[in-house]
Structure 1
Amino acid sequence: MLVVVAGATGRTGRRLVPLLTAAGHGTRALTRSGDPVPGAQAHRCDLTAASATDLDKAVEGAGAVIWLAGPGGGSVESAEQLDNVAATALMDACVRQGVRRFVLVTSKGTAAPERSPEFLRPYLEVKAKAEAHLAGTGLDWTVLRPGGLTDDEPTGKVALATSLGRGKVARADVAAVVAELVGRHDQSGRALDVLGGDTAPAAALDEATPKINIVDFLFDLKRLGRVHLAVFGGSTGEAMAEAKVHFTGWQVSAGYVNYFDGPELHFSRKTRWRAEFGEGPGRHSGKHEYWVMVHNERGEGVFRFGLLRPEGSEEHDPELVAAFHAFREHYTLPEA
């Protein structure tokens, strides 16, 4: 796969390129100068001055894009131009060019910049804006938030979770996690902190990934009561014969047809599944909604289940909402 790296000549990027090559990927390195980049195809592109056409050419034909670029100090204004404006423009180019995978490396603390020291806060707020933009693109994305970066030798061991305490991590170990994330679509839609730790990157990602037994999950979901099902495209049909779950009375969104056929849903027990819960204003209705999205191992959102309101009512049944919250708590793993 061709991987485009923004920031390939930086201190983390230089450590990443050989790892991508070792994994069998080709690398296109975006550089302002166009000078040769060992192990990669250099592509001249000044990210802060590039036009939409320039950025389209930069990501054309890629299977994944990695953002490692950073201003390396300087003013908040320069950080805004690179970490937010340029980064989001590159994301938009991926959308236009059909590049699905985007790994954004930012910084620990972007989840709550207001809790950070005052001198860091505006820089973290800039990175947080880029993270928010990425989440709305529809791309297959993962955000990685390293702690304090060092130039120490790689340890080959890290700690990964959606939230970690303070700490440091070697740039080489961050590069190893990024190289692993390129093909880890089960991490789609997630933001992870990374610090030095005791676990190899692949195993750390496995441990940080909520997994569910899809058959038990669906039967438990059915017990909630009034649930609406939308079926999206995905890869679960690869082993239909392994498990069949029969439901009656599912309300299925019109226009979504794949391996759903009448009341019968087919699932593979071999596939790793991840559940993403949410609530808030509905994209189309504007009303408060409660939903769970089920992702397959390729990071695709395959099923979306939402609570239904009683007929003629603008509000959800309080008992059903309480059941939803209990269901979410049951299927949400504790933080590592």
Structure 2
Amino acid sequence: MTRIAVIGAHGLVGQNIINLAYSRGADVTGVIRNADHGEDIVRLGGEVTLVDIESASAEELAEHLRGADAVVFSAGAGPNSGVARKRTVDFGGAVLTADAAKIAGVNRVVQVSAMGVDEPLPADTDEVWAAYVEAKRDADLYLKASGLDWTIIRPGGLTNDEGTGKVRLADKVERGSIPRADVAAIVLAAIDDDRTIGRTWEAISGPDTIEDAIDAALAAIA
């Protein structure tokens, strides 16, 4: 792991990824759309790249990804956005990232998704939540069909608690929560471990170190 580009770098998961990667000696580029957030990225140890993933072309984003060893997509429209932005950010941004990674010659992509997005939604589901789930589901499907070396991490409820380094990973896990710091650590562990390529895992806090949790998840499908 030497150079990582993080799409959605100012989100709380993205900030944790940048800070942890920097602390481990990686060069990190944080892709953000708001220049006012650049100081936060620099403070965490990242370089700043300004790209609006809702309006940029894949070619434009690719120019900023060239030379990266891996790309992480952790962008999201946020809880206060409407239906339309779930599609343009959570889905459209993921599609743009996969396409740009291909153009830039960056084969390794790790995507932060959400638990349970493959499950059918009740008919009375709130329309914004439904749009979010559908966007994440479709983004995952697009990445899986991209031909890239992908890993998809689907965390449970996200907290700002201090990371413990103890998690559970599996195709399906019970409902639970996980600190954003531990999601970041899982993302970086996935980048470092080629055995995680082509895997989609849900993640919550659990009893195992991240390395042991990866071993267990792989053993379960062997």
Q: 1:97 aligns with which of 104, 128, 133?
A: 104
* Aligned-partner residue type, residue 143 of structure 1: I
Q: 1:185 aligns with which of 169, 191, 194?
A: 194
Deviations 1:250-309 (A, max 9, x none): xxxxxxxxxxxxxxxxxxxxxxxxxxxxxxxxxxxxxxxxxxxxxxxxxxxxxxxxxxxx
Native 8 Å contact 1:107 1:145 kept in 2:
yes
Which segments of 5 or more consecutive residues in structure 1 lack a partner in the other structure?
A: 212-331
Q: 1:110 aligns with which of 91, 98, 117?
A: 117
**Match for residue 212 of structure 2?**
203
* Aligned-partner residue type, residue 107 of structure 2: R
1:122 aligns with 2:131: yes
Q: 2:94 aligns with which of 87, 96, 109?
A: 87
SS in 2 for 1:42: strand
Q: What CA distance in whole angstroms lies between the structure 1 residues aligned with 2:68 and 2:82?
A: 32
Deviations 1:170-228 (A, max 9, x none): 111111111111112111111100001111112111111138xxxxxxxxxxxxxxxxx
| CA 124–83 in structure 1, closer or farther in 2 if over 3 Å, else same | same
SS in 2 for 1:27: strand
Q: Which has the higher contact order (CA 8 A, sep 6+)?
A: 2
| CA 146–117 in structure 1, closer or farther in 2 if over 3 Å, else same | farther
* 1:66-81 → structure 2 map (5 Å cutoff): 66-73=72-79, 74-81=81-88
Ranges of 4+ aligned residues in structure 1 off by more than 3 Å: none
Deviations 1:18-40 (A, max 9, x none): 21123321100001134231201
**Match for residue 18 of structure 1?**
19
**Match for residue 71 of structure 2?**
65
| CA 115–62 in structure 1, closer or farther in 2 if over 3 Å, else same | farther
**Match for residue 9 of structure 1?**
10
**Match for residue 49 of structure 1?**
55
Native 8 Å contact 2:75 2:93 kept in 1:
no
Q: What CA distance in whole angstroms lies between the structure 2 residues aligned with 1:161 and 1:139?
A: 21
Deviations 1:40-79 (A, max 9, x none): 1101111111122321112111110001111112112111
1:134 Cα deviation after fit: 0.4
Q: What CA distance in whole angstroms lies between the structure 2 residues aligned with 1:26 and 1:19?
A: 11
1:90 Cα deviation after fit: 1.2
**Match for residue 252 of structure 1?**
none
Judge which range, 30-39 or 110-119, deviates more.
110-119
**Match for residue 325 of structure 1?**
none
| CA 13–150 in structure 1, closer or farther in 2 if over 3 Å, else same | same
**Match for residue 291 of structure 1?**
none
Native 8 Å contact 1:2 1:26 kept in 2:
yes
- Length, aligned pairs only: 213
Q: What CA distance in whole angstroms lies between the structure 2 residues aligned with 1:10 and 1:202?
A: 25
Deviations 1:104-162 (A, max 9, x none): 00100112243697123331111111111101111000000000111111122111101
Native 8 Å contact 2:157 2:176 kept in 1:
yes
| CA 11–99 in structure 1, closer or farther in 2 if over 3 Å, else same | same
Normalized per residue, which structure has more helix? 2
SS in 1 for 2:12: coil
**Match for residue 143 of structure 2?**
134
SS in 1 for 2:215: helix
Native 8 Å contact 2:87 2:131 kept in 1:
no
SS in 2 for 1:87: helix
When normalised by structure 1's length, the TM-score is: 0.61
SS in 2 for 1:210: helix
Q: What CA distance in whole angstroms lies between the structure 1 residues aligned with 2:154 and 2:193?
A: 16
SS in 2 for 1:29: strand
Q: What CA distance in whole angstroms lies between the structure 2 residues aligned with 1:138 and 1:2?
A: 21
**Match for residue 32 of structure 2?**
31
**What is the root-mean-square deviation in Å for CA atoms of aligned residues?**
1.7
